[in-house]
Amino acid sequence: MAWGIGYNIQKAVEGNSDLIVHHEVADEGTDNCLLGPIAKAAKAELQSEKLVVLAARVTPIMNS
Q: What distance in Å separates the CA atoms of residue 53 and residue 63, rounded to the nearest whole number?
A: 31
3-61 pLDDT per residue, tens: 667 788 888 998 889 999 999 998 877 777 888 899 999 999 999 898 888 887 777 66
* 2 vs 51: which has the higher pLDDT: 51
Q: Per-residue pLDDT for 2 more than 70?
A: no
Residue 63 has pLDDT above 70, yes or no: no
pTM score > 0.75 for this model?
Answer: no
> Quick count: other Cβ atoms within 10 Å of Cβ 22?
19
- Which value, to the nearest 10 degrees, does the dihedral of the CA atoms of residues 53, 40, 45, 38 take? -70
- Residue 12, judged by CB atoms within 10 A of its CB (0-12, 13-18, 19+), counts as buried
The residue with greater pLDDT, 64 or 29, is 29
